[in-house]
Structure 1
Amino acid sequence: MIQLDGNRLTMDQVSQVVHHNEEVQISDIAWDSVRKSREVVELIVSEGRLAYGVTTGFGKFSDTVIPAADVEELQINLIRSHACGVGEPLPGKVVKAMLLLRANALAKGYSGIRPETLQLLVDVLNRNISPVIPSQGSLGASGDLAPLSHLALVLVGEGEADYLGQRMSGGDALQQAGLQPIRLQAKEGLALINGTQAMTAIGTMAYLEAEQLARLADGVAALTLEGLRGIVCAFLPESHQVRPYPEQQAVAERILGWVEGSRLTTKQGELRTQDAYSLRCIPQVHGAIQQVLSYVKDKLLIEINAATDNPLIFSDSGKVISGGNFHGQPIAFAMDFLGIAMSELASISERRIERLVNPQLNDLPAFLSPNPGLQSGLMITQYVAASLVSENKTLAHPSSVDSIPSSANQEDHVSMGTTAARHAARIVENSRMVLAIEAICSAQAADIRGADGLAPGTGRLHNQIRSIVPLIVKDRVFAQDIERLSRSMKEQEWSLDNGAPA
């Protein structure tokens, strides 16, 4: 059971909840903070004080005073009117992350939500009710209004949800799970939807996948190095010590660990003086990608433990502050950066694929074909990789530099962070396909060279690839191999142990 207090949620805990259905509960200290902030809201309503979103309208309507008798209707109107997202629904795991992150943000105690509303949100999460949330329609400021409104609809018994493998109304999902919908009170609709949890959930899931993919890429690149009889001297520590990026040094060390004991790699001058950049510069490129991942992780960890509402309620002082913590610019930048980095991971992988299949660049059979000419072998897999890499380049165009005013120019600068996150997630997906293609090609090259010459580390990786993609002895539908291997890279735990001494 994971305790949520709004301050200490980790990436590993997010993964445990999303991938392994670990249950959560609000900590006792957090409940105390939630109750105190709620008391401030109720005092504002009882005294008829002016407070944005509590006794006023929203956005351009912030100067419209709402009578006390209408504050409940104000909140449900907000949810219904803002639930106008479009496009394919977000994946269930992303939605689960959204529920978790919103609960954690509300647990900080700056939102003014009632304890029973927060508890229902936690119950929906723990009972695996998945609100149907369209993926498009958020500007990333004021937060993720449209996506979070679709999430909130289910809490009031409206909208749609996936539950027990079926799509149904939000009300039916709650009923079947033994839960009762809530009736929103003052400020609660705004508390549920004014935040960055859609972009952050998409970004967190994309990051978790990218992190594993980047480490796996080191192993696949090492297998390619052996398939091409690459030169290990470029990975020796001396050259990396004089350009002291820790991530570059770590990648070089990992590559040497992967190929330690190999009878397929070479040294300078044995076959050639130096290798092409896509082999020789693996530490420099993969290391730079690790730098980006560190930056992205740092920003996501801050955001998943942040209060991103407006207004924020400070119970100790009684202050209600209208600010801009809902603005997604930090995550927009991070997601654009993640997309750029993963585009490069795929780009250099595709260049290694080309070196594996192009007979003008190696001494292997053309396109690794069992019978070149009669059988095309892996020729077209490089086409597919090139197509995905090219698509990544368009997706990597930064979303964070764009802005369109909204709400009659009251909200005149927005982040487009959710678009950046969606694009980054798509780039990660494409890049995994490219890496799967490289893995297929490198395993085939290793078999042609003689897999018994592989290092212990890459030998285990080769065996894992072969457990999913059999040796190519004649042409077949390689799309199925690519899909299976890519899916395994996403859903299964791959051993990233390179076999080197600790």
Structure 2
Amino acid sequence: MIELGGSAVLADVVAVADGGRARVPDAAIEEVGRAHELTRRLSAEVPIYGRTTGVGANKSAAVVDDDAHGLRLLRSHAVDAGPELPERAVRAMLAVRLNQLCTAGSGVDPAVLRALEGMLNGNALPTVRAHASIGTGDLGALAGTALTLMGERPATGPLEPMGPWSSDSALPFISSNALTIGRTCLVVDALGRLDRAAAAVYALSFRGLDGNPSVLSPAAVRAAAAPGVDVVAERARRLLEVPAGPTGQSAVPPARIQDAFGLRAFPISQGAFTHALGVLAEQAGRVLGVAQENPLFDLAGEAVVHHGAFHQAALGLALDGCNLALAQTGPLVMSRIGMLNEPALTGLRPFLATGQVGASGLMMVEYVAASALGELRAAAQPASLGTVVLSRGAEEDASFASQAVVQAERAVAAYRTLLACELVGAVRLLRQRGVVLPAGPLNDALELAAALPADDADRDQRDDLEIAQKLLDALAWV
């Protein structure tokens, strides 16, 4: 049982997305109830956006605070289009929104929290489509969720409908970027595993090519003077069992005084990505457990705060930064794949082919890797550069963090393919060279890779890449 009481962390969101049961503590329900009563009193005393007024460009229009206003707001905002999002993304959205609501700044009816808890635990989910969000609130997805909770839209499983919502819950519930944040949590989790797996794949290539380990030495790390390099170099040192001495030399003599960038610059390039991923994880962790509804109710000061904290500029920039950092690792992966195919470096046939002269071996695997690199680069185009003016000029900018996370999801798939291509080549090289690894983490990685087919003849290699992609998650924990 995963507790979502306002202090959940990224791993909790991932666990709920993967089917874990959620629980809202009674203390959180009581606090939300107190906030709800306060907001009902304040709404009778001062104008409140979306409750006693319209929204967007209608913010100056006074309305009656009644059930009909809240229902109209939800129905009019429940608009989205495009393909349906996967169940995992929807569950992540619900987990984030439930955790946020427990911080008691929205003024929402506490019954909504129990209903969301039941929706998750019964896996009776709303249908959410791809297009609606712009980085200033996932309004369409959350309004559709509200209609599903009330029984106006079908859920994916049996769900006891709530009664009609009034305006004290309508805007407060949808005023969130929970879908974007939830998807970001899933991206961070996936990229964290691939980041660790990348070190294992690199180490296998490094050993197969007899790389020079001095690039992993403490002196080389200090010279880089960049964040993340120490973490990546330490991962590689442990896998290759390189002593942490001043030169970082190991028992295996290097084949070259100085390697190509694919081996030599890996700690710097991968370190930049590792650091950017850490920045993204930190920002996602901040926003998944904070009240950002507009308006926000300050319980201690008994005041209504109208603000723009929902504008996810920082999250969008962190996503863009992570996508860019990931894309710049791609050329070095391609460099290593090229090295694995080069007879002058391996002492073997071109493309690690066997059989007849002119056999293609891993030639087309390199083409697949290049295609994945192209996708990485396309996904790295900064979404934060975009802007839009909406609602008769009332909202004149958007962070497009929602687009940045879509691009990050594309990047995850492309990066997985790129690493799988290198893994197939590294394992084939080690096998053809007859390299025997001593007991240790790198040997553990190679034993995991035993699932890859041993037949090096020219044949259909689609299955090889699919197996290699699945192996990456296991390699992350070596």
**TM-score range with shorter-chain normalisation?**
over 0.9
> In structure 2, what residue type is equivalent to 1:65?
A
Give the drift of 1:456: 3.1
Q: Does 1:388 align with 2:372?
A: yes
What are the residue-to-residue correspondences of 1:102-181 with 2, within 5 Å? Answer: 102-141=97-136, 143-163=137-157, 173-174=158-159, 179-181=160-162
Contact 1:345 1:431 in 2 (8 A): no
Alpha-carbon offset, residue 453 of structure 1:
4.0
| Cα gap change, 1:479 to 1:149, in 2 (>3 Å) | farther
Structure 1 segment 440-451 matched on structure 2, within 5 A? 440-451=424-435
State the partner residue of 1:234.
215
Whole-Å separation in 2 of the counterparts to 1:475 and 1:414: 51
Measured in 1, the distance between the counterparts of 2:111 and 2:80 equals 27
State the one-letter code of the partner of 1:3.
E
After the TM superposition, which of the residue ranges 281-290 and 314-323 deviates more from structure 2? 314-323
1:110 Cα deviation from its structure 2 partner: 0.8
| Whole-angstrom CA distance in 1 between matches of 2:303 and 2:198 | 50
Give the letter for the 1:28 counterpart. D
User: Partner amino acid for 2:304?
Assistant: V
Counterpart in 2 of 1:256?
Answer: 237
State whether structure 2 residue 88 is matched by structure 1 residue 93.
yes
- Residue equivalent to 2:463: 480
Q: CA deviation at 1:480?
A: 2.3
8 Å contact kept, 1:3–1:25 = yes
Per-residue Cα deviation, 1:54-93 (whole angstroms, up to 9, x for no partner): 111111111111124xx32222222222222222222211
Q: Is the deviation greater in 53-62 or in 472-481? A: 472-481
Query: Contact conserved, 2:372 with 2:414, CA < 8 A, in 1?
Result: yes
- What CA deviation, in whole Å up to 9, does each residue of 1:20-64 have, x standing for no partner? x3322222332222112211332245x374211111111111111
Contact 1:105 1:307 in 2 (8 A): yes
* Cα contact 2:214–2:220 (8 A) shared by 1: no
Separation in 2 of the partners of 1:457 and 1:449?
20
TM-score normalized with structure 1 length: 0.89
Whether 1:299 aligns to 2:293 is: no
Match of 1:364 among 328, 348, 356: 348
Q: Distance in 1 between matches of 2:369 and 2:327?
A: 12
Structure 1 counterpart of 2:310, which letter?
Answer: F
Structure 1: gaps of 5 or more residues: 164-172, 498-502
Judge which range, 143-152 or 414-423, deviates more: 143-152
TM-aligned CA deviation for residue 495 of structure 1: 5.5
Q: Distance in 1 between matches of 2:186 and 2:448?
A: 24
**How far, CA to CA, are the matches of 1:367 and 1:79 in structure 2?**
59
Shift of 1:245: 4.3
Could you tell me how far 1:333 is from its partner in structure 2? Answer: 0.6
CA distance in 1, matches of 2:115, 2:253: 63
Aligned to 2:246: none
Quick one: distance in 2 between partners of 1:403 and 1:54?
A: 28
TM-superposed deviation, 1:460: 1.5
d(CA) in 2 for partners of 1:493, 1:162: 32
Match of 1:30 among 24, 28, 51: 28
Q: Could you report, residue by residue, the CA deviation over 1:310-354 in whole angstroms, capped at 9, with x for unpaired residues?
A: 111123333111111211111101111111122233332222112
Runs of 4+ in structure 1 displaced over 6 angstroms? Answer: 261-265
- Secondary structure at 1:63's aligned position in 2? coil
The letter of the residue matching 2:426 is S
Using a 3 Å threshold, how does the CA distance of structure 1 residues 205 and 152 change in structure 2: closer, same or farther? same
The structural deviation recorded for 1:246 is 5.8
- CA-CA distance at 1:361 after TM superposition: 5.2
How many pairs were matched up?
A: 473
Contact 1:451–1:459, Cα closer than 8 Å, also in 2: no
1:190 paired residue number = 171
Could you tell me how far 1:237 is from its partner in structure 2? 2.2
Partner Cα distance (2:147, 2:463) in 1:
39
Q: Which residue of structure 1 lines up, in the alignment, with residue 270 of structure 2?
A: 286
Answer yes or no: is 1:66 the counterpart of 2:63: yes
| Shift in Å, 1:427 | 0.5
Alignment of 1:261-276 (within 5 A): 266-267=252-253, 271-276=255-260
Q: Which moved more, 1:435-444 or 1:123-132?
A: 123-132
- Report the Cα distance in structure 1 between the residues aligned to 2:225 and 2:347, rounded to whole angstroms: 35
What is the aligned counterpart of 1:205 among 182, 186, 191?
Answer: 186
Which range moves more in the overlay, 478-487 or 336-345? 478-487
Cα RMSD, aligned residues only: 2.3
- Which amino acid in the other structure matches residue 25 of structure 1? R
Question: Is this contact kept in 1: 2:82–2:131, CA < 8 A?
Answer: yes
Q: Could you say which residue in structure 2 is the equivalent of 1:53?
A: 50
What's 1:221 paired with?
A: 202
Structure 1 residues 92, 198: CA separation in 2 closer, same or farther (over 3 Å shift)? same
SS in structure 1 at match of 2:89: helix
Amino acid at match of 1:63: S
Partners of 1:83 and 1:480 lie apart in 2 by 42
1:15 aligns with 2:14: yes
Contact in 1 for aligned 2:75/2:143 (Cα 8 Å): yes
Within 2, Cα distance between the matches of 1:260 and 1:64? 69
Of 311, 322, 347, the residue aligned with 1:327 is 311
TM-score between the two structures when normalised by the length of structure 2: 0.93
Letter in 2 for 1:370: T
Percent identity for Structure 1 against Structure 2: 28
For the Cα contact (< 8 Å) 2:13–2:182, is it kept in 1? no
Q: 1:151 to 1:206 in 2, by over 3 A?
A: same
CA shift for structure 1 position 94: 1.4
Quick check: 1:388–1:434 contact (8 Å CA) kept in 2? yes
AA matched with 1:149: A
CA contact (8 A) 1:446 1:454 kept: no
* Residues in 2 aligned to 1:434 and 1:265: alpha-carbon distance in whole angstroms: 30
Q: 1:372 to 1:110 in 2, by over 3 A?
A: farther
Give the Cα–Cα distance (whole angstroms) in 2 for the partners of residues 153 and 265 of structure 1: 65
- Label 1:351 to 1:159 Cα distance change in 2 as closer, same or farther (>3 A): farther
Matches within 5 A, 1:424-443: 424-443=408-427
1:9 match: secondary structure = coil
Quote how far apart the aligned CAs of 1:402 are.
1.1
Residue identity in the other structure for 1:314: D
